[in-house]
Amino acid sequence: MPTSSTPLRVGLIGYGYAGKTFHAPLIAATPGLALAAVASSDAAKVHADQPTVDVTDAQALITRSDIDLVVIASPNDTHAPLARAALAAGKHVVVDKPFALDLVEARELIALARERERLLSVFHNRRWDSDFLGVKQAIADGLVGRVVHFESHIDRFRPEVRRRWREGAGPGAGLWFDLGPHLIDQALQLFGLPERVQANLAEQRSGALSDDWAHVVLDYARGLRVILHAGMLVTGGSARYVVHGERGSLVKREADRQEAQLKAGIVPGAEGWGADPDAILYYDGNAAAREVPTPPGDQRQYYIGIERALRGLGPNPVPAHEALDVMIVLEVAQRAAREGRTLAVNTEDTTAHAWRNRQ
């Protein structure tokens, strides 16, 4: 491992939307990390943004002796095979969400990381979104009291089915596998694992090859219900979060702006980075509303945490066992939708004991 004054060298596999928009800029903006190589079939695209970075193929990148951390931002069905190869080569590994295609793959990766004594982390970057941080803090401050209803939406208006793997018919495609991990991870951060899962997935757009609408309900004790929803034919009218509790309600209308900032070429950490002028609306028991400022988001904190963890200065920001719990809910929801019934979460196959001790 390099000394504390030497940057950790990062190899990024994949330079599609996730690699180009999120990983490369966030890595570049993190002190102590240096993007050294990218595995991509489009060298011109990479060099347009990263002129000094080596462009190679995935296998060559994984076997390079000068790479400390491999970041996997390739199509979902390649996550587990590439992570397995990188761990076997002695690399530390970050995997974009979803962790894997199923629980078998996820458990195998965790076992291999432990065997090789390598860091394995999953890029659940939405933990550092302004909207989530604001709602999380408001709940922790007790503004609504005991939460009984939590609703989380990621809605978009994309009526045309695009020619890309995320919207295709292959393994790991579809809206639930794309956005579901974000929605689930945030819910688990707040409330832990549910007892049961209800789910409904649909193909709503003309020519859809995989699900483009998802509505999932997580059942908890004492009547708490968590609604996770995503759709591709929504132009407005949906709040990002709605929370009801025994003392009042919260409404967060607009989403975090970091993705839009990254797409616009704003460098993470620049002036205004992560700022969110859309305040949370808090309604007290008399239905009187007041605004609660939304804190800025900063997805750099994920890679700052990775850099610190690799140097032994802090914990893994998203341990693999937490991502395994996300995979469990993701998989149970798929089964529940397919079978048309409510399914229990098998706590024997989860880290539920740790989550439940927090409730």
Peptide bond into 98 cis (omega under 30): yes
- pLDDT tens string 116-158: 999 999 999 999 999 999 999 999 999 999 999 999 999 999 9
Cα–Cα distance for residue pair 132/137, rounded to 1 Å? 8
At 92, list the tokens: 């530390």
Question: Which pLDDT does position 14 carry in this prediction?
Answer: 97
Cα–Cα distance for residue pair 327/70, rounded to 1 Å? 21
Number of other residues whose CB lies within 10 A of the CB of residue 214: 26
**In this prediction, what percent of the chain has a pLDDT beyond 90?**
92
| Alpha helical stretches, state H, 202-319 | 258-263, 300-310
Q: Residue 90, exposed/middle/buried by CB under 10 A (0-12, 13-18, 19+)?
A: middle
Cα–Cα distance for residue pair 284/248, rounded to 1 Å? 5
Q: What is the pTM of this model?
A: 0.94
- pLDDT tens string 305-330: 999 999 999 999 999 999 999 999 99
Predicted confidence (pLDDT) at residue 287 exceeds the cutoff of 80:
no
- Spell out the domains of the chain, with CATH numbers in brackets: 8-123 (3.40.50.720), 127-299+328-356 (3.30.360.10)
Question: Which pLDDT does position 346 carry in this prediction?
Answer: 83
Report the sign of the C-alpha dihedral through residues 316, 347, 106, 109, in that order: positive
- pLDDT tens string 174-222: 999 999 999 999 999 999 999 999 999 999 999 999 999 999 999 999 9
On average, the pLDDT of the chain sits at 94
| Furthest CA-CA distance within the chain | 64
At 227, list the tokens: 């609604």
At 200, list the tokens: 């409904």
Q: Residue 350: which pLDDT band, with cuts at 50, 70 and 90?
A: low
Q: Residue 348: which pLDDT band, with cuts at 50, 70 and 90?
A: low
Question: Which pLDDT does position 349 carry in this prediction?
Answer: 57
Nearest to 194, CA basis, from 353, 336, 344: 344
